[in-house]
Amino acid sequence: MIVDHLALSLLWLVSCLGIITAPAGTLALSQVAAQRAAGADPGTGGAFLAAFRRHFVGSLALGIGWAALGCLLVLDVFIAVQIGPPTGDILLVALLALLLGYALITAALPAAAITFDTTPLRLVRLTTLTVLLAPGRAILGLGTLAAAIGVVWLIPLSLVIVPSVTAALLHRLYRGALNRFPAGTRRPETAPTRATALATPATAVRP
């Protein structure tokens, strides 16, 4: 299992060398981690490349648009700081709240992107609903992602294994919440198994 995590993390790192390929690489990482969490043995290299090709086109608009939104929010924070009180303070509080929401959605976005077969805008909407309907899982997901970044910051060599482990943890964390949405919104390969369906509350959410 350690070898699989190493191989998957290294493939993700290579895919991130090109900036425009990073979103597809991240979704491929999440896809293979999800397949393993479901008990499948898809291999590593072949499964990663297949998922990378499948998600490449769709992930471009999603990745560029979502990164641009994040940059805009950060820029607005700097502008609010320059404005000063009292208007700047009010804007700063509002922007920090938006940044927190952005971070919560970001942590859930890869798991949602490999689950739902839809447009980028509707995907963001579904992910936002997931965060709102399962705030506990969303906070744990953001905490998991923050902890992973902290580990890599303190121990750079851990970058060869942390991405794969983090993707697997995030998938397990969000799986139940994502499976509450109607089957018609999900990709066929991510439909819940019988065991998952029995373990997931029957309440369906209308997107």
User: pLDDT (tens digit, 0 to 9) for every residue of the chain, 207 residues total?
Assistant: 788 889 999 999 999 998 899 999 999 999 998 888 777 776 778 899 999 999 999 899 999 999 999 999 999 999 999 988 888 899 999 999 999 999 999 999 999 999 988 889 999 999 999 999 999 999 999 999 999 999 999 999 999 999 999 999 999 999 888 888 765 466 655 544 433 443 444 344 445
CB–CB of 170/110 below 8 Å? yes
Q: Which domain holds residue 195?
A: 61-199
Tally of domains in the chain: 1
CB proximity list for 74: less than 8 A, separation 6 or greater: 99
107 is a domain residue: yes
DSSP three-state, residue 116:
strand
Q: How far does the chain reach from its first CA to its final CA, in angstroms?
A: 36
CB–CB of 111/145 below 8 Å? no
CB–CB of 185/118 below 8 Å? yes
Other C-beta atoms closer than 10 Å to the C-beta of 153 total 10
14 is a domain residue: no
Predicted model pTM: 0.84
Give the Cα separation of 50 and 55 in Å (integer).
9
28 is a domain residue: no
